[in-house]
Amino acid sequence: MENLPWLARWSLYGLMSLMGVLGLMIGAFQFRTMRGGVFHNCDGSKDDWHEQPTHYGIALADVCVACPVSTLGVILAFAGSRWGFYLLALASFWWLWANVMTTATSLKFHQPKITLMWFFTFPLGALLGLAYLVLTFVHFDALYRP
Q: How, if at all, do strands 46-47 and 39-40 pair?
A: antiparallel
pTM of the model: 0.87
pLDDT tens digits for range 28-57: 988 888 888 888 888 888 888 777 766 677
Integer CA distances (angstroms), 44 to 102, 103, 113, 124, in order: 13, 13, 10, 18
89 versus 32: the higher-pLDDT residue is 89
Distance CA 69, CA 118 (A): 25
